[in-house]
Structure 1
């Protein structure tokens, strides 16, 4: 291969001295194939401690991260159309495949895009499952990816992992049977965020802690997009946390109004 082409595709990097080095040196390599089974890029996981954990091929004429999905080619090859499980990383995909879950794919290290979501919808319609890592970054990514799917009228099923685990770690710790039980009882995005909300409550009498938690409740309510569903959650919150329902409704309306004013100022 011509050196200039190899550099353009991100296979090698030119150093300050003019020499070329392997972009993916000291890394386990994961070839990225498009839906037609053509290699279009690579992901690399470091095997040393002094590098970024993951490194992907840069954008090029043949590799657009936001338009492709890792392992989608395998699902198409196996003619799987009934459901798809989206995870964060290459290792999660491989681990799940090794455990017999062959309807799994992953994004490519970037925020999930609308083009990726439309590609998923094209093959799997509405039967989409999200299973991101159980840490704060994974929770944030779950909400962002869910929003992307909502924009194209797909409401994904959310799998919640405990203890900040990723799917690979969860199966190693609890086994495949327990993981399958999670798949059988997914949440919608509101149920997922409500569980996160409950876990955030501290066993404390501190006014500061309780104020922060109450504001988290109000923020949670702003993200629910129908009045009927919001009223159901207001009743649920009132019952579970001993909060006066009418006060909660009034505080929510004031909080939501303030939130919209802030958003309007940001746009202007």
Structure 2
């Protein structure tokens, strides 16, 4: 059975969208809405809007939009039942037992079987490491100075040199090829058939926050390529939404989380007592990673390698971490390359000192910017200061901006007032428009058709000023909204207006497909720039006239030649249309 609509609406109403979204995106109030950097596409200027009145979000850059359910489904990749359970728990609402559809049961069963299969594989790899076949792998781990306790706690294992060893083992356990193919543990080749993805590698089981094995990483023994290999995406493994070591780090009770580059960094740090270390899984840090970190900490220390690649990785990660509302710092390990090398050379105590002295992320960005200029040349030095001023403008809070101006002025021995003038000059130039990439690779929509724009505007205005409905009631109908989705949305909204209770987020719930929800959200977020109330009233009158005129013309075009009654009705509607040109509409 499906959950009753009343229960779904209660769960939505008890989870304020601003509270929920602010757990993932840093929001700042502007007028009646909140704005932040969109978590669904890369941008530098906030175009992601969250409306507490509408209980909706909408990105003016990429078009992402919906209610609190849509947000979690898109951000967390949850199914609707998973979202409902999450938000019900958050609101303290007990969900009744429900029957799942055949497809839901099938997917849930597949996930359960894959988790069990991964547990079997992890145990097999763990056993292999301690067998004669795993001697090379164990010697490698010992050469990295890992203790037996550490090897055990991380469940490290070994895939021996035979490329069909795990496959044969699984077949003996009665596991079918279809499930093995779904697991990501096997490769399939027309000539070779099915064979192990991991062989002749030290194995690192990857666990989710609940310590369930969801995938594997493997480090090759010898000179094979690639050096590190990860499980592919599966129904239970998404590398952009999981972090290695987070199952332990989230309970470490430290004030921050150390974000490293690889498995061995995390393992070495945990062994040295830094159980708050995590690493991304063969990919750069993503917005989903940052949102995941936000659940467990307010501060991230980027603990990347000290080489150029590590520096670039830190520069890419800083804006992502900050956009999630996290404080970001950068740890310097020179003259050592990575945490493992540092700790082996100087020990845990010295590493803690480096953590305590981790550099503020903005000051780190400034120091990286400095490398691009010849500071001995007056022209280069001036260009550098102008570049710094442009970055300082990005701080919207005056006190914060002043503090950073002071810090930069002190570091580079420049007069505070001189740097502040440069910042003010940069601000006066105005922000440069940022080109945002269309969501999910879709081409940005071209100029909307006029009638669609008009229909969007009217729906948005009716949401924001419900009293307008009384002035246009009887003069325009839902039939005048000729597009399928526009018509459905208008019907739902007009019904709410009749009842005197407008809840846009509830209308979004009516649509089941994410694409429809995004389109519906866009209908409630249209805008038209007007300077005076008189201009606004004129725009309203013209919009109502345009929609009604289009509706009449559309209905007449659909008439059968023999439909005399329909033709007569159309003639009456056209006579009434003239009255709309002189319709007085008040926006008060």
TM-score normalised by the shorter chain: which range applies? 0.7 to 0.9
Contact 2:386 2:422 in 1 (8 A): no
Distance 1:154 1:197 in 2: 22
Aligned to 2:337: 165
Change beyond 3 A, Cα 1:3–1:143: same
C-alpha offsets along residues 182-213 of structure 1, whole Å, 9 cap, x if unaligned? 12223332133234445666564485x55764
CA RMSD of aligned residues (A): 3.5
**What residue number does 2:279 align with?**
106
Verify: 1:46 aligned to 2:217, yes or no: no
Counterpart Cα distance in 2 of 1:235 and 1:34: 43
Correspondence for 2:434: 263
Q: Please, which runs of 5 or more residues in structure 2 have no aligned partner?
A: 1-174, 439-443, 445-588
**Is 1:25 matched with 2:196?**
no
Task: Supply the distance in 1 between the matched residues of 2:393 and 2:226 (Cα, whole angstroms).
Answer: 37
CA distance in 2, matches of 1:41, 1:225: 42
For 1:23 and 1:256, the matched residues in 2 are separated by 54
Residue range with higher mean Cα deviation, 162-171 or 36-45: 162-171
| 2:270 corresponds to 1:97 | yes
Contact persistence 1:87–1:104 (CA under 8 A): yes
SS at match of 1:129: strand
Deviation track 1:129-176 (CA, whole Å, cap 9, x = no partner) reads 332222333333334434333333222343233347221122233332
Tell me the distance in 2 between the aligned counterparts of 1:175 and 1:216: 39
| Closer, same or farther: CA 157–246 of 1 in aligned 2, 3 Å | closer
Structure with more contact order per residue of length (Cα contacts < 8 Å, sep ≥ 6) = 2
1:3 to 1:199, Cα distance in 2 relative to 1, 3 A = same
Structure number with bigger Rg: 2
Q: Distance in 1 between matches of 2:382 and 2:321?
A: 33
The residue number in structure 2 matching 1:8 is 182
Q: Is the alpha carbon distance of 1:129 and 1:243 closer, same or farther for their aligned partners in structure 2, counting shifts above 3 Å? A: closer
Tell me, yes or no, if structure 1 residue 230 matches structure 2 residue 401: yes
- The answer on 1:87 being equivalent to 2:87 is no
The alignment status of 1:184 with 2:356, answered yes or no, reads yes
CA displacement at 1:180 relative to structure 2: 0.9
> Could you tell which deviates more after superposition, 23-32 or 253-262?
253-262
Instruction: Indicate the larger mover: 185-194 or 89-98.
Output: 185-194
Give the conservation status (yes or no) of the 8 Å contact 1:190–1:224: no
Query: How many angstroms apart in 2 are the aligned matches of 1:47 and 1:80?
Result: 32
Report the CA distance between 1:68 and its aligned residue.
1.8
What is the DSSP-based 3-state SS (H/G/I as helix, E as strand, rest coil) of the residue aligned with 1:58? coil
**Residues matched between the structures, number:** 264
CA contact (8 A) 1:90 1:106 kept: yes
Aligned partners of 2:415 and 2:313: how far apart in 1? 33
Q: Distance in 2 between matches of 1:110 and 1:181?
A: 28
TM-score under structure 2 length normalisation: 0.39
Counterpart in the other structure of 2:210: 36
- Report the TM-score, using the length of structure 1 for normalisation: 0.78
Q: Equivalents in 1 of 2:270, 2:436: separation in Å?
A: 48
User: Pairwise mapping of residues 65-80 of structure 1 onto structure 2 (< 5 A)?
Assistant: 65-75=239-249, 79-80=251-252
**1:221 aligned residue:** 392
Q: Are 1:134 and 2:309 counterparts?
A: no
After alignment, is 147-156 or 52-61 more displaced? 147-156
Gaps of 5+ in 1: none
Distance 2:223 2:396 in 1: 44
Can you list the C-alpha shifts for 1:224-247, whole angstroms capped at 9, x where unaligned?
A: 454444344445545554657666
Indicate the larger mover: 175-184 or 160-169. 160-169
